[in-house]
Amino acid sequence: MAVHVLMNVLDDQEMRVALVRDGNLEALIHERTTPDAQHLGNIYKAKVANVEPSLDAAFIDLGGGKNGFIHVDDIDHGERDANTPIDKLLKPGQEILVQVTKEAIRDKGPCLTGFISLPGRCLVLVRDKGRSGGISKRIEDSCERERLRAAIKHLEIPEQFGLIVRTAAVTCSDDEIALDFEYLRRLWTEIEARAARVKAPACLYQEGDVILRTLRDLVPTDVESVVIDQEDLYDEARAFAQVFMPEISGAISLHRDELPVFSHYGIEERLASIVDNKVQLPSGGNIVIEQTEALISIDVNSSRNREGSDVAQTALRTNLEAVGGIVEQLMLRDLGGLVIIDFIDMENREHQRLVQLALRKALLRDKARTHVAPMSRFGLVEMTRQRTRPNHGLISHGRCPHCHGSGVVKTPETFEIECMRAIRRELASRNCQRLEVVVPTDMAIHLSNARRREIGRLEEESNCRIVLVGDTLMKSRDFRVSAQERRRGKRSRKVGDEPVRPSLLTPLLDQQAKAVAEAKALMQKKAAQLERELRAAEEGDETPDAKPKGTSKDRSASKPRTSSASTAPPSRPATAWEEARILQELLFS
């Protein structure tokens, strides 16, 4: 397999790396080079900001930006029991060593762990001897596993540390493994020395840039070419390769053409489509990718695909084509978290199984950890993909200022109604002399034409001048109302002078307290009891624990016998309409 790695690092603020395997763009790494852009893999001497026993977690001050989040399972318990609560392990103000395992994404801070790991070319040094160690599962050859096990057996591993042998160690000799271990051991010694000198919070170890990490983690030993378009980083990559990866040092070259490296090799055109939400398939179908806060939804559509002999064959062919496109987009966009795939409905069980197996096979080339659930009866496949950093869309794009990320904007009619509603509210609540309404320029013209009579009527009724101002810099469908109150005449109302008005809504605090009480009551019930109540509610019973109703004969026997002469109180009308009819007869008869 021909493997080429292209590194575009000419821009001072951005680095991009593309991995091309057999003519297919297999991976894209996209990172900013600003100081606060990259935290993944960094090691900090941090301070505990606060402990949350209800979450079994704590928030850690890293010295800048958002506080990190660490779960109780990611903390070294030492000699204590594994079920020790987090408030017994950490206290506010305590200093600990942590490593970033997941970058901050939007409003979420970075995820941390107390089990430090230092990756090398063929080994990973882990400060947790009990939980980590061994050889990569991707190495299946038993003879090779025995050789690697013997190679690390003679290494003097420090106390409370473990070693993980990476897949790349297959091509490394015993001397290269020993050299890699010596480098990791010295690196940890320097980190410990710095931790003893500095005061928390402080960064002890900063992960290498994308160039060195790509050479260390992604570039195989049989790579054909590694092309870099920046001379200083080219020299740095050559120096790193000559020490740790001498077998690929000859494949590293400097791009000297005036045309940028991604454009020279045709990568730039392919990258233009990875931000689109719709991806076309070869036979005319398409997949639609939508990202939300909680999950990523992928919808498969047959669209213009008409090559199948019948509906079942068309659905099967489109779904099998979509499998390859979905995995490719997951890798290129670096999407992670919960992914829901909505395949085209297939009634044939064998077709469903075939699509699931094809998806699992396509995911084998993905280095990120994935878990795929069986297809549900609604044709949905749930899967998770390891997420460590924000995807390319979050890095290169921000939320739309017009729709605030929702993807929709108000129609002109809705904007017009809301604007007039705000004007009437201001006129009713204040003694205004002049009311200025700032709206986008196009909407100012629209309001002046469509609501001219209504605005004139409001001016006469309130004796207030209403002015529409168009602002070319204002976001679409936004408006701002500012009032100038009268200084003389009628006294303007102050805050708190408004009359008390009845409300149909329950006060917010009472509503929240009621919701908490209902949640506590549900926690006390068992699932079987709740299921009985739900079944009884669906059947129309008033109380779930009521005794079964008897037959009509039993009910008639249980009724008390009354004489025909006794008068029963008149029953109330069943509806309000019957009450109204009775009142009309009494009043107008």
Q: Which of 156, 180, 205 is the last residue of a domain?
A: 205
Number of residues in the chain: 589
Same domain, 372 and 458: no
Same domain, 255 and 234: yes
Same domain, 309 and 439: no
pLDDT tens for each residue of 370-381: 999 998 888 899
Same domain, 13 and 61: no
Tell me whether residue 552 is in a domain.
no
**Res. 552: pLDDT tops 50:** no
Same domain, 100 and 192: yes
Same domain, 259 and 175: no
Q: Which of 269, 303, 319 is the last residue of a domain?
A: 269
Tell me whether residue 407 is in a domain.
no
Question: Is the alpha carbon torsion for 8, 9, 13, 18 positive or negative?
Answer: positive
Mean pLDDT value across the chain: 80
State the average pLDDT over residues 379-392.
81
* Structural domain for 24, as ranges: 3-35+210-269
Same domain, 439 and 479: yes
Six-digit token string for 205? 């170890």
Q: Which residue has the higher pLDDT, 207 or 394?
A: 207
Same domain, 146 and 51: yes
Which burial class, exposed, middle or buried, applies to 284 when counting CB atoms under 10 A from its CB (0-12, 13-18, 19+)?
middle
State the Cα angle at 513 between 509 and 515, rounded to 5°: 115
CATH number of the domain to which 236 belongs: 3.30.420.60
Report the domain count for the chain. Answer: 4
Instruction: Produce one character per residue of 442-456: b if its CB has 16 or more CB atoms within 10 Å, e if not.
Output: ebbebbeeebeeebe
Tell me whether residue 538 is in a domain.
no
Tell me whether residue 148 is in a domain.
yes
Same domain, 142 and 224: no
Same domain, 201 and 215: no
**Res. 88: pLDDT tops 70:** yes
Reference 17, options 334, 259, 280; nearest CA is 334
pLDDT at 373: 92
**Res. 342: pLDDT tops 90:** yes
Q: Which residue has the higher pLDDT, 268 or 295?
A: 295
Q: Which of 184, 205, 226 is the last residue of a domain?
A: 205
pLDDT at 297: 93
Q: Which residue has the higher pLDDT, 84 or 569?
A: 84
pLDDT at 71: 92
**Res. 566: pLDDT tops 50:** no
CATH number of the domain to which 459 belongs: 3.40.1260.20
pLDDT at 412: 82
Same domain, 109 and 184: yes
pLDDT at 503: 60
Tell me whether residue 569 is in a domain.
no
**Res. 562: pLDDT tops 70:** no
pLDDT band (50, 70, 90) for residue 471 = confident
